[in-house]
Amino acid sequence: MGATEELQARFDAALMPTYGTPPIALARGEGRYVWDVDGRRYLDLIAGIAVSALGHGHPALTEAVSAQVARLAHTSNLFLHEGEVELAERLIGLLGGAGEGARVFFTNSGTEANEAALKLVKRAAGPGRDHIVAAASGFHGRSLGALALTGKAAIREPFGPFGLDVRFVPYGDAAALREAVTDSCIAVFVEPTQGEAGVVVPPRDYLRDVRAACDAAGAALVLDEIQSGVGRTGHWFAHQGAGVVPDVLTLAKGLGGGLPIGACVGFGDHATAFAKGDHGSTFGGNPVAVAAALAVLDTIESEKLLANAVELGELLAERVRAIGHPLVAEVRGAGLWRAIRLSQQAAAEVQARAAAHGLLVNAVAPDVIRIAPPLTITRAEIEEFTGALPAVLDEAAAGREASG
């Protein structure tokens, strides 16, 4: 028995079976590569679900986190520390003119950022508003509030009913959304591009139409940029590319480069809708997580990673399309956040064959492969992936024929 199988057996005996048994046990990482406990090397094209923005073992992240944990690891919110102030200021600055007057609340995860947003829009809503609109197949988290907003029925319905009236509309359908966003709507929660649904890109004017529907009804627009934010699409935030300004913005995943941190940003009236005592978190804004986030933002700037995301994301999409493989139906997404939609329900086979070739990709849906590598990925590493992909696709297609 290899070290992987041994760990898997212990995992199965000690952890709740929420994730099934992961096929690979990781031991360490360096740059865009990770090694498993049996010493096999993989090129990481998923980055812990769009989290490890700087890859693995980046010196800027290592030094910032090590120095901070030695200096002061925790304060609680009984005391402030400079890092949380600096990070909030930096995020507001990155929002440009739209961020003027914005304020930030720090959390430990994306789910908690959405929970904060949910409480915030309820606090800010005028009388007579009673429901929320969200997108079918959207994903906003697993806690009861965030789950009530999550469109995927299979994960939501076993845990209902929820004390929240959420009305779902098809994603990308502006007319359906306009109809649901009435004068009694509190807020719309939506992802600029749906991540967990399979990097689903809406029609070009969709976010502007959503903004207009919210404005017409006096409802708040909450953009969940937990997956799309912090450089993933080649913009600091995806909504900047769509030309809209939300009332509330939620962030997490890439923000900490692997350390757990999330943020809920309120704009305009929503900046100050929480009064003292309305919300809190013991760990939120933790100095170590904040130091990591500052290192991530610094490094995205100093290494010009937004431009890298645009350039290498295009290269990736072009190269995959150029293979012209019958299993590839479509390549979509922006920046270093891409989906390969397959012509068959073969994503699990593609993920498994890719791993056998030392490439980590993610079967996000039965017919969709998600690619979200570290933003530090190089041209040579993209070419390593696209060079190996024809064989991976051939083997996946052959495997399906043999088993079908």
Ligand X SMILES: *Cc1c(COP(=O)(O)O)cnc(C)c1O
Positions at the binding site: 110-111, 139, 142, 224-227, 281-282
Specify the residue, 111 or 286, whose C-beta has the smaller distance to ligand X: 111
Q: Do residues 299 and 375 touch, judged by C-beta distance below 8 A?
A: no
Output the residue with the shortest Cβ distance to ligand X.
Answer: 110
Give the interface with ligand X as residue ranges (CB under 6 A): 109-111, 114, 139-141, 191, 195-196, 224, 226-227, 252-253
| Cβ contacts of 194 within 8 Å, gap of 6 or more | 135, 137, 138, 139, 171, 200, 202
Q: How far is the CB of 192 from ligand X (least distance, A)?
A: 9
Alpha helix segments (H runs only) across 102-196: 110-124, 144-148, 153-156, 174-180
Distances in Å between the alpha carbon of 337 and those of 111, 151, 212, 332? 20, 21, 27, 9
User: Is 224 a residue of the active site?
Assistant: yes
User: Is 253 a residue of the active site?
Assistant: yes
Helix (H, G, I), strand (E, B) or coil at 368: strand
Binding residues for N(2)-acetyl-L-ornithine: 142, 281
Q: How far is the CB of 38 from ligand X (least distance, A)?
A: 28
Widest Cα–Cα separation across the chain: 63
Alpha helix segments (H runs only) across 25-76: 47-50, 59-71
Token representation of residue 195: 């991540």
User: Is 267 a residue of the active site?
Assistant: no
Catalytic residue among 36, 105, 106, 139: 139
Specify the residue, 4 or 150, whose C-beta has the smaller distance to ligand X: 150
Binding residues for pyridoxal 5'-phosphate: 110-111, 139, 224-227, 282
Specify the residue, 65 or 147, whose C-beta has the smaller distance to ligand X: 147
Q: What single-letter DSSP state applies at residue 196? A: T
Q: How far is the CB of 116 from ligand X (least distance, A)?
A: 12
Q: What single-letter DSSP state applies at residue 12? A: H
Length of the chain equals 404
Q: How far is the CB of 259 from ligand X (least distance, A)?
A: 12
Specify the residue, 87 or 217, whose C-beta has the smaller distance to ligand X: 87
Catalytic residue among 36, 44, 224, 367: 224
Q: How far is the CB of 327 from ligand X (least distance, A)?
A: 26
Q: Which residues pair with 115 in a beta bridge?
A: none
Active site residues: 139, 224, 253
